[in-house]
Amino acid sequence: MSRLSQRIDRLETTRGAVTVVGVAPDQWPEGQRKAAVERLARARGITGDIDVLAIGQRWPAITEATILHVGDFGEVLDHVAKHGRRIGERRAA
């Protein structure tokens, strides 16, 4: 499935809350990290129910929040599993 058709499917299908994964400076309190990632998501036009996962990043040092992924968190896990296997095969060689 092409990225365009995935995006259209995501827009046309009601799946409940959308997961927003982002990073923010580790020294920020957790509430501030979540609020910053949610504000960025709303600014990008994400509406409705969202689940925010704001990860504190220590190194490399960052000064502002950034969004890494918006969508179904299962897609992220599938991507990691797919590419993790390839990395493991390279390490074994």
- pLDDT at site 6: 80
Contact 65, 36 (CB under 8 A): yes
Express each pLDDT in 22-53 by its tens digit. Answer: 999 999 999 999 999 999 999 998 888 889 98
| Cβ density class 33-62: b for 16+ within 10 Å, e for less | bbbbbbebbeeeebeeeeebbbeebeeeee
Q: Is the pLDDT of residue 89 over 80?
A: no
Output the CA torsion 42→57→25→19 (10° steps). 10
Please tell me whether residue 17 adopts helix, strand or coil conformation.
Answer: coil
pTM over 0.85: no
- pLDDT at site 22: 93
Hunting for tokens 């179904």 — which residue is that?
72
Q: Is the pLDDT of residue 85 over 70?
A: no
Indicate the average pLDDT of the chain. 82
